[in-house]
Amino acid sequence: MLILVLNAGSSSLKFNLMDMDREETLAEGIAERIGLSEGFIRWTIQGEKGRIELDMNGHKKALSAIMEQLHQTVLVGDREVGAVGHRVVHGANSFVDPELITPAVLTEIEAMTFYAPLHIPPSLSGIRTAQELFPGVPQVAVFDTAFHHTMPDYAYTYGLPYELSQRLGLRRFGFHGTSHQYVAEQTAVLLDRPFDQLKIVTCHLGNGSSITAVQNGKCVDTSMGLTPLEGVIMGTRCGNLDPGVITTLLEQENMDGKALANLLNKKCGLLGISGVSSDCREVEEAMGNKNKRAKLALETLWYGVLKYVGGYAAAMNGVDAVTFTGGIGENSNALRTWVCSRLTYLGARLDAAVNDKRSKVARFISTPDSAVALAVIPTNEELMIARGTLHAVEK
Ligand code: ADP
């Protein structure tokens, strides 16, 4: 079966067409600047790169143009899209498995807008567009929060009045679930050991970053919370803060909720501390040029990652593997060196030569005698969404 995976953002639409008989990507790409001027779509179809400039007033125009490209190339003869899988950022308590989208499910996803006001509306638009363009083709929603639903209550509870938390649904949910699940499973494959007998810390570090403890195949804790702001500092997000900082900002800077949300989501993290960029590569470059605030920003991130790894090793009473993924996790030797060289108390030994070598394949970066396996595994969220979609359709 061919599955089209869609990830709709407010001004973008990512797509990936997968042949699930071989779990192979036939086409992938992104439409950018939807609803803005100078829109464009770029893709790789069967290894060939392409790009068109196109102003798109909405997701429908974008998806129609993408389908036009696919119909001219891979979707020929009797090859058709058998199902569409949608990435949906928040499933809260309602969704813990991929869901075949019915009118009732769509209504419930709409109710998630409370939790993710920036992400859910574009997801809904992506789903409605696909329903319109693929009448009769099953549509499935795969949730970023789903993998984390196995966390014990003491790991997801905030220290707020219990009734208030219950009434508003305030608890930690976690994100990047498909990525954490994928790299944790692949860590077991790399180790050639059963997934359900391992203790793994997965570090998904990109523009958004989260760290997860996976014990016996299940998530037992994760660093992001009710929203993707909690945890380590990110490109532009603040990560953990004393809640007193928020009340101070409200009072001292006369901010309202909207201004505060904008600050915490868009002006903090690597960008806010360094003043250089939200892009880790650029901040590393600035640090190389002796920029002190760039160094401070990076060390704040590295130290945050180190503390989560240690915390989760404690939570699981040991750890078999620490795995890095995401743009920073896969590419920043500097981050991995800083963090891994401080895990000797766990018996972890980094192989510096292997760590420094550029590679795009899943690999160990620990020495053979390391008591904890250290691994780098490129993530594949699209494959997990396609697998979840196939599973929901076959059910
Ligand atoms: P997203 O969370 O949006 O999917 P990515 O996982 O692609 O983002 O991660 C993007 C981040 O990865 C950026 O901060 C980028 O600078 C960083 N990155 C990519 N390559 C490198 C590199 N060689 N060294 C350090 N950081 C890198």
Does any domain span residue 333? Answer: yes
Q: What is the pLDDT of residues 138-186, one digit of tens each?
A: 999 999 999 999 999 999 999 999 999 999 999 999 999 999 999 999 9
**pLDDT cut 70: percent of the chain above it:** 100
Question: Do 116 and 258 fall within a single domain?
Answer: no
> With left for phi above 0 and alpha for psi between -120 and 50, is residue 190 left, alpha or beta?
alpha
> Which CATH number is 90's domain given?
3.30.420.40
Residues 256, 343: one domain? yes
144 is catalytic: yes
Ligand 1 centroid – CA 194 distance (Å): 30
Q: Taking Cα atoms as reference points, which of 70, 87, 91, 88 lies closest to residue 79?
A: 70
Q: What is the pLDDT of residue 208?
A: 95
Residue 356 lies in a domain: yes
Q: Are residues 243 and 353 in the same domain?
A: yes
Instruction: Choose the most confident range, by mean pLDDT, from 113-117, 346-350, 358-362.
Output: 346-350
178 lines ligand 1 (CB under 6 A): no
- Give the pLDDT confidence score for residue 382 in this predicted structure: 96
Residues 217, 286, single domain; the answer is yes
Give the distance (Å) from ligand 1 centre to CA of residue 298. 13
According to DSSP, the residues that pair with 51 across neighbouring strands are: 42
> Alpha carbon of 176 to those of 7, 94, 179: distances in Å?
13, 17, 5
Same domain (yes/no): 196, 89: no
Closest protein CA for atom 7 of ligand 1: 327
pTM score above 0.85: yes
Confidence band, pLDDT 50/70/90 cuts, at residue 118? confident
Let me know whether 101 and 9 are in one domain. yes
Q: Tell the residue number behind the tokens 């760290």, with chain if given.
A: 211
Asked whether 12 lines ligand 1 (CB < 6 A), one says no
Tell which of 128, 143, 158 closes a domain: 143
Residues 251 and 316 occupy one common structural domain: yes
Residues 235 and 306 in one domain: yes
Nearest to 198 by CA among 347, 312, 327, 350: 312
Residue 116, pLDDT above cutoff 90: no
- 106 and 37 in a single domain? The answer is yes
328 lines ligand 1 (CB under 6 A): yes
Distance 309 CA to ligand 1 centre (A): 20
Q: Is 239 in the pocket of ligand 1 (CB under 6 A)?
A: no
Q: Indicate whether residue 69 lines ligand 1 (CB < 6 A).
A: no
Angle of helix 292-315 versus helix 280-288 axis, rounded to 10: 120
Q: Are 277 and 269 in contact (CB under 8 A)?
A: no
The mean predicted confidence, pLDDT, of the chain is 96
Residues in the chain: 395
Given the residues 21, 55, 97, 144, select the one marked as catalytic.
144
Query: 262 pLDDT exceeds 90?
Result: yes
* Residue 13 shares a structural domain with residue 130: yes
Q: Residue 117: give the domain boundaries.
A: 2-143
| Residue 387 domain flag | no
CA atoms within 13 A on the CB side of 211: 28
Q: Does 298 reside within a domain?
A: yes
Number of domains in the chain: 2
Decide which of 143, 173, 203 is a domain's last residue.
143
d(CA 269, CA 309): 19
User: Domain end: 102, 122, 143, which one?
Assistant: 143
